[in-house]
Structures are given as C-alpha cells and as structure tokens.
Chain A
Amino acid sequence: MARDSGIVSWGAYVPRYRLKAEEIVNLWGWDSNIPKNLNVAEKAVENVDEDSITMGFEAAYNAILRANINPKRIGAVFFGTESKPYAVKPSATVIAEALGVTPATMASDLEFACRAASEGLRSALALVESKYIEYGLVIGSDTAQANPGDVLEYTASSGAVAFIVGPSKEAAAILEGVYTYVTDTPDFWRRGLSPYPKHGEAFTGEPAYFSHIEGAVRGLMESLGLKPDDFDYAVFHQPNGTFPLRVGRRLGFPKEKILPGLVTPLIGNTYNASALIGFARVLEQARPGQRILVAPFGSGAGSDAYSFVVTDRVNGLRGKAPRVDDYINAKKYVSYAVHAKMRGLYRRIAN
C-alpha cells in the first residue's frame, strides 16, 4: 500500500576526471587482475576546486531544476557524507544558502559511513508524511578517501546525488515501504584525526555488507508481502562491481534487474551517492507502474531497504536537467600524478 510521500525529483553529479585502474596497478605494483576481480575499470575523481559541498550543490541544483519548485518551500536539507570539508561547521548550510533555501529550514550533516544520506532520506520521507515539512532535500556526496596503496583506492571515488522528497501526489516514485537494519559491526572506520579509513578486509563482506543488506531487504519484503519477482529493478550499495550482483543472487534478484542501476564499474564507489546514484539512473529509464528496490548500506553497520513505485510524473522530469549518463559520459582521463595534485596529496612549503 502506497504511503503519502515519495521522490518528487532527483539530480546527480559526477566530476569530469577519471583515473584508470591500471594507473593504480602500475604505481603500487598490484596484480593486474585486481580491477577485473573488483569489476571496476576506472573511477571518477574530483578537480582541485571540488569537494563534497560543491558536488552536492550541483546535484541538488539539478534536483530543484527538475522539480521546478521554489527553494523556499524546502523545509529540511540533509547532507550525508564521510568527506566533510569542515570537521565542525555544517556543509548543509552552505548548500542551502547557495540554493536559496535559507533561512527558514532545517539543515544537518549526517554521519553513518556510506549510509548517512539514506538515513536523511528516511527522515525526510517521515517529515513529509507527518506534514512537518512540504519538501525535503536529501544529498549524498563524497570525495571518498583511501590510503594510497590500499586496495580501497581502486574503488573510492567522487560523486553526488540529491532528491527532492515531497507528497505522493507530486511524486515521480511513491514510497511503498522501508525497513532499516542496523547493528554494531566494526567493518570499516576512520578515527577523528586519521586522514584515511581502515577496514577489516574480508570482514567487510559477510558480517557487514551481505548480512545487513539481506536483513533489510528480507525485512522489507516480509513486511510488504512482496517477493523478488514483484520488483522490476534492484539497486544495492556498490562498494565494488561484484558485491551487488552477489547479494542480488543470494536474495533472488537476477542480474538483469541490477545492471541498470549498477554504476560503480563505470565511476567507482561514490560512497554516500553509491546506491542512490544507481537509483537516480533507474528513474531515468523506468516506466510508470514499475517497482524499484533500493538498498543503501553503511559500514558500522546498517542498511535501509526501500520499495518505490514509479508514477506517470517520471516521464516529464527526465529531460529537465542533466542525466546521470550525461555526467558518466563526459570524462577526461588524468594520470595518478595529476590526481594526487588535485587531491592535495603533495606537501609543499610556501615560498
């Protein structure tokens, strides 16, 4: 049974620059089969003047362009990231100010590894349903970090996505149900003053990614009385190009339902934008009446499983802002050395 909230519009952003996996293989002396095993050929990397705020702004700008609403009607801005430009000073207020949403709005930065934006999405949907706000803006944006030479470097990439959440009568995809599954699982973490995260290697798979996504998706299907055959698309968190296909297989979703929303092989893992960019890409091809499963995951650990049903409104929105594939296809390759400069990995002293 549909609820009284949904996705009014969406927007995405992927930076222009790409780093090929073979650059990382050659620099750090990896086995050349690693990229193939991860199913990630290249990843999107930010320019020197970009960060999670600038990328999040562009995704949100596209979402507002698509929704064609006055930004002043947005009552909450939730920004999910694990690459905050400031440790203390909200990013959400910068974006809200730049979009013209301020001052009468909630604005928060959320933290739950890669799942923070999804927590924001749940909250925004609930705020709309309870009529505390008319519209909510949810942004997931990351310039994902990886210790140079760590296997994580193949996948940790940059990108952003945003959704305008509103009442179901205005939605391009109506929320049908959501189920959240969290536990205290130490699979991936970054301490306060550490520049890079650490992770539990193989431990990130079974007790973390697979256990939580499967728990959330099974809980959702049970609560709604649905089975995998009832869904037309399935979008899972995408730490690499293989895990989403494997978790889908274990849950009973064929790869044909997963591939349309699988973007990590093309741009890497954009962390808070990972599954949600995949969701945006699916909205750009789904037909009215189709049902979409979306299951983001965040280390630490937790997963949300959402069921959305696409409405007629989706058709009129696609061309009103750049699509996910517009950004995926607009790319220029850089060397590892140039990427390192853009990311500020070289230490210079002032003249």
Chain B
Amino acid sequence: MRLSPAQIWRTRIPRYRLIGKECKKCGRRHYPPRPACPYCGSRELIEVELPRTGVIESFTVIYTVMEGFKDRAPLIIATVKLDDGTRVVAPITDAEPEDVRTGMRVEAVLRRIRDDGSYGLIGYGTVFRPTILVHKTS
C-alpha cells in the first residue's frame, strides 16, 4: 500500500475529529465531507463536528481481506447511525464478530487505520468500538 502524504494531510481533520458537513439548504448532515450535499446536491455546506456516539445499524464481517490487513482479520465494517442521525461507515474495533449486533451502542475512538509498511506513513482516523465505559456519571 502506498500512502500519499498529500492525501493523509488533506483528510486529517475530518478523519481525526469526525468532522462532517451540514447542508444549509436541506439541513441534512453527511460524512465524510463532500463538495456537494449527497441528498439535495446543494454546495452550500458548513463543517460540523459530529457526535461521537451512536448505534450499529447494520454490519458485515470480512474474512478474506486485502493485503496489508491480514493481521486485522476478520474485519468488522458497520453502518453507524450517530446520535444526530448522521450515518457513518466505519470499522468496529475492540470487538469480536460474535459480540457485535444491530442496535449496539458504539463510541468513536482514534486508531491506526492503515500504514505504509515499516518505513512509510501511518494513517490515523476515527473508528468505533462498543461503548463499554459509563461516561458522565458521578
């Protein structure tokens, strides 16, 4: 795998901070950010920091993975519906396939999402894990 420094740099903020876009015309949000709203086509968009918790809406388990991901197999890829309704497709980490289910609460974490061998760049980004910790309790 060859990771481009320019691509890593361009995408770092949305990947690190889960920054999406909100359409000023139809009000819907999407991630990752695009130049035009995927729902109405408007280009009047503003950046928004998306909520870091949500539920798994659907998921799949990939056993035959592409080169570079063998040590991560099996990969769990889910559609996560965030608490504001935005849908994000992302890997699920710190979980085994038998533990994952539709409706499971998940939270965003920063992880290594790809790397260019032992000498190249490391790409960091947001993935999700089952919410195992109780936040904001006394």
Residues of A whose CB lies within 8 Å of any CB of B are 16, 47-51, 53-54, 57-58, 65, 85-86, 94, 97-98, 100, 318-322, 326-327, 330, 341-342, 344, 346, 348, 350-351
List residues 90-125 of chain B with CB under 8 A from any CB of chain A: 93-94, 109-113, 122, 124
Q: Is the CB of A50 within 8 A of B111?
A: yes
Q: Is the CB of B110 within 8 A of A319?
A: no
The dominant DSSP class at the B interface is mixed
Question: With A and B bound together, what is the CA distance between A274 and B111 in angstroms?
Answer: 22
Q: Which residues of A contact B132 (CB under 8 A)?
A: 16, 330
B70 contacts chain A at the CB level, 8 A cutoff: yes
Interface size on B, residues (CB 8 A): 25
Q: Is the CB of A322 within 8 A of B71?
A: no
Residues of B whose CB lies within 8 Å of any CB of A are 12-13, 16-17, 67, 70-72, 93-94, 109-113, 122, 124, 127, 132-138
13 chain-A/chain-B pairs, Cβ below 8 angstroms: A16-B94, A47-B111, A49-B72, A49-B93, A49-B112, A51-B122, A53-B110, A65-B135, A85-B112, A319-B136, A321-B135, A322-B133, A322-B135
Select from chain A the residue with minimum beta-carbon distance to B112.
Answer: A49
Min CB distance A345 to B, Å, is 10
Q: Which residues of B contact A346 (CB under 8 A)?
A: 71
Q: Which residues of A contact B72 (CB under 8 A)?
A: 48-49
Question: With A and B bound together, what is the CA distance between A337 and B94 in angstroms?
Answer: 17
Given pairs A98-B17, A321-B136, A348-B70, 9 additional interface contacts (CB within 8 A):
A16-B94, A48-B71, A50-B111, A86-B122, A97-B13, A98-B110, A98-B124, A319-B137, A322-B133
The one of B70, B109, B134 that contacts A54, using a Cβ cutoff of 8 Å: B109
Question: With A and B bound together, what is the CA distance between A50 and B109 in angstroms?
Answer: 10
Q: Which residues of A contact B13 (CB under 8 A)?
A: 97
Min CB distance B62 to A, Å, is 15
